[in-house]
Chains A and B, each alone.
Chain A
Amino acid sequence: DTAVSQTPKYLVTQMGNDKSIKCEQNLGHDTMYWYKQDSKKFLKIMFSYNNKELIINETVPNRFSPKSPDKAHLNLHINSLELGDSAVYFCASSQDRGRKLFFGSGTQLSVL
């Protein structure tokens, strides 16, 4: 049983395209997150949702739009992809905000 699952694992696309990454958690957690990990392994928070409501929106271009249809899902849609968007994107969830996060296995996005 995968606690936090995200798809796809790999995403290769051209500049200017629009793509989505899906995330689902079966832990019953109230809070979900998207983190971006750059080539130097630095993990940076992008968004956080609590019970479908946005609670954190760090300095992220508005080309990135999270969508939470229910508290078990948090999808990430990216418009007009740029080369600099290439990174590994991790979905995570936690029962309590700012406490132990459970991470998905990541989506490696490559923009060509």
Chain B
Amino acid sequence: GESVGLHLPTLSVQEGDNSIINCAYSNSASDYFIWYKQESGKGPQFIIDIRSNMDKRQGQRVTVLLNKTVKHLSLQIAATQPGDSAVYFCAENGNSGYSTLTFGKGTMLLVSP
């Protein structure tokens, strides 16, 4: 079946660095993509989303890039802080008839002071 994301990797960065978390998706029918942050012991929290008619969207310290040609999604975090340490998930809506989000396997971001 279709799938989103990669095996759970870990990205280690220093405080102040820029972080880039990548996600590959395979369902070309998806028209909506979203990033979540999950801290230990908590539920996933919304970070930023993007529709398929856009290729870039910016938020506060975060940018999502969508490359539909290669089916790739990335999350850029500027000036990474220790509080950004968490597991990050991408998700798409093309499966289950657009009725829900299908999540990738997540990336652990570790930020050292």
Real complex partners, A and B?
Answer: yes
CB within 8 Å of B: which residues of A? 4, 33, 35, 40-45, 48, 55-56, 58, 90, 92, 97-106
Chain B residues contacting A4 (CB-CB under 8 Å) are: 43
Minimum distance in angstroms from A48 CB to a CB of chain B: 5
Residue from the list A56, A90, A100 in contact with B96, Cβ < 8 A: A56
Size of interface on B: residues with Cβ below 8 Å to A: 24
CB within 8 Å of A: which residues of B? 8, 32, 34, 36, 38, 41-46, 49, 87, 89, 93, 96, 98-103, 105-106
CA A98 to CA B51, docked complex, whole Å: 12
- B42 engages A106 (CB within 8 Å): yes
Minimum distance in angstroms from A22 CB to a CB of chain B: 15
Chain A residues contacting B100 (CB-CB under 8 Å) are: 33, 45, 48, 56, 97-98, 101
CA A30 to CA B6, docked complex, whole Å: 31
